[in-house]
Amino acid sequence: MVQQRWVLLAFILPTLLFYTYFFLMPVTSTLIDSFHEWDGISDKVFIFLENYITLLQDPIFYKSLVNTLYWVVLVIVLQIPIGFFLAYFIYQKIKGFKFLRTVYFIPVITSSVAISLAFSFIYEANFGILNSLLKLVGLDHLTTAWLTDPITAMTAVSLPFVFNYIGLMMVILFAGLQSIPDELIEAGEIDGVNALQKIIYIILPSVRNVLFICLVLGISYAFKQFDYVLLLTNGGPVHLTEVTGTYMYKQGFSQSNYGYGNAIAVTMMGIVIVITLVINKVLKPKD
């Protein structure tokens, strides 16, 4: 027994120490610094909740939060549904499905920087692929500067994010489909339901666990990935496309408002934890 305890420590301690020092301690210092005013150069001043009070009255923060929640909506109405249908059709082993699957997964392995650069080509107002295409088919009046036009900017900056992870959703859902027992589908066949009913009443409930995983994953990505915005518009023009991530980043590193940046970070942490708990409660997969 004594020997076993020693061995256990050897298995646990190295990782736990590493994790505590390089992950948990930074988390704690984010929390502590959010109660300070600090420009990174002068001394830290303890101001307790003042950063949070400013944050609650900061219209740009609300704007960025709304934009971030827009991403969450896009995950739910675009990313997961497209991923699901792609998985569903591929699952039917249409011709060339292996090749298709390979191609669909390419965006997932491509870096967000490369995807952003490719999309900046698409949106470029003067020779970009989108405007050129529109001109080619005679829809000149629809051309616009996609990344600065107030109507299109936020959607334009979001699409690379949606595009990036559709393939991931597809692969996960594909695996879920494969694990549906044959009997279940055959039972549906006997009842004579049509294709749509089959998806709604048989397929979707059986991949519920997997959908749950996709949802949690998608939402955490929506809060986490802001490199697209950083590279495509940097939150501009005039905060139109600001998301919480870019706002935090800019407050901290461009404006030297480290305390305030940390307060944004802590608030985001809180929001993500709450959302995750709520989804967990509502959709918790039954075993």
Partner 1 sequence: MNDDNGLAAKNVNNRLPISSGLGKFFKYLLVWGYFFITFGLFLWVLMTSFKDNSEIFSSPFGLPSSFDFSNYIFALTNVNMGLYLWNSTVVTVATVLLCLAFGATISYALARFEFRGNMLVYILFVIGLTIPLQSLIFPMFFKMDDIGIRDSLLGLITVYTALNLPKTVFLLVGFMKGLPKEMEEAAIIDGCSYWSVFFRVILPISKPGLATAGILVFIAAWNEYVFASVLISSDIAKTLPLGLASFQSSQLSEYGLIASGVILSIIPVLIVYVIFQEQIIKGMADGAVKG
Partner 2 sequence: MYKEKSIFCFLLVVFSTLMIAGCSPGGETNEENAGNAQNSDSAVNLRVLHSFSGSQPQAPVIEPALEEFDEEHSDVTLDIQTAPGNDILEQLRTEMSAGDPPDVFTHWGMRRVQNYIENGLLPDLSESIEADSDMEDRYIEDAYNPVEYQGGIYGLPFQGYSYYLLINPELFEEHGVEVPTTYEELVTAVEQFNDAGLIPFAANNHSARYMMLTWFAQKNDTDSLIKYATAEEPFGEDLRDAADKVAELSAMGAFPEGYQSLETAQSFELFRQGQAPMFYQHSWTAGEIDPEMEDQYEVIPFPLGDQASTPTTIAGTGHFIYMSKEAYEDPEKREAAWELMKKIAGPEVGRKFVEEIPNPTALNVEYDPAEVSPVMNQIMDFIENDENVVPSYDEQLFSQDVEDDYWSMTDQLLQQDLTPEQYVEEMNALIEEYPSVQFE
Interface residue list for partner 2 (CB under 8 A): 39-42, 125-126, 143-149, 233, 236-239, 253-256, 258
Q: Which of residues 244-273 bind partner 1 (CB under 8 A)?
A: 245, 248-249, 252-253, 258, 261-262, 265-266, 268-269, 272-273
d(C-alpha 33, C-alpha 120), whole Å:
36
Give the one residue of 85, 142, 191, 278 binding partner 1; rule: CB under 8 A.
85
Minimum CB separation of residue 284 from partner 1 in Å reads 15
Site for partner 1 in 25-64 (CB under 8 A): 25-27, 29-30, 33
Of the candidates 1, 137, 151, 195, which one interacts with partner 1 according to CB under 8 A?
A: 195
Report d(CA 276, CA 44) in Å as an integer: 33
Beta bridge partners of 37: 45
User: What does R_g of the chain's alpha carbons equal in angstroms?
Assistant: 23
Task: State in angstroms the smallest separation of the CB of 245 from partner 1.
Answer: 6
- Determine the Cα–Cα distance for residues 177 and 91; give it in Å rounded to an integer: 7
270 interacts with, out of partner 2, partner 1, none, CB within 5 to 8 A per kind: none
Q: Which of 21, 18, 17, 39 is nearest to 29 (CA)?
A: 21
**DSSP strand E in the chain: where?**
36-37, 45-46
125 binds partner 1 (CB under 8 A): no
Looking at the Cβ atoms of 101 and 239, the one nearer to partner 2 is 239
Reading the block at residue 260, the tokens are: 């305030």
